[in-house]
Amino acid sequence: MPCHHNLEDYLVAYLDGTGLRDDPKGFLFRTIGRGTGQLTAPLLPRPTPMR
């Protein structure tokens, strides 16, 4: 699948910056805790399709 040539670098920076590298089975995209600014364990919900 074609992707941006810097995608791997961006993902590594994201994993390192968020501390998710130590959680290989965790969700990649998560919610941000209200008032804390920290990522939470639950995954980011998928949008519901429009009809």
Residue 8 is predicted with a pLDDT of: 93
Give 1-44 as a DSSP string. Answer: ----TTHHHHHHHHHHHHTGGG-TTS-SSEEE-TTT-PEEEEEP
Buried b (16+ CB within 10 A) or exposed e, 24-51: eeeeeebeeeeeeeebeeeeeeeeeeee
pLDDT for 1-51, tens place per residue? 889 999 999 999 999 988 889 888 888 888 888 899 888 887 777 778 877
Q: pTM to 2 decimals?
A: 0.65
